[in-house]
Amino acid sequence: MSSGSWVVRRSVVAQDGTVTTMQDAAAPVLSFPACDTTAQFMDGMTVGWAITAAMVAAWCAVFLKKGL
């Protein structure tokens, strides 16, 4: 870290062992999206309701088949 910001420092090592420092470059600033803490819950609830609807539909089909 140099003067409050991260830098990428590259060096080249020659075959005879000498080290040459190349030009420093500023590292890119990382940014992350905001976290949605309810996303996984809502996904699970959607799948749960889909399974419940399929079970109710199957029960209705069996119930109607017995009645006819």
CA-CA-CA-CA torsion for 29, 32, 34, 38, nearest 10 degrees?
Answer: -170
pLDDT in tens, 2-51: 567 788 888 888 888 888 877 888 888 888 889 888 999 999 999 999 99
CA-CA-CA-CA torsion for 39, 43, 45, 49, nearest 10 degrees?
Answer: 150
What is the arithmetic mean of pLDDT over 59-68? 87
Between CA 47 and CA 8 the distance in angstroms is 46
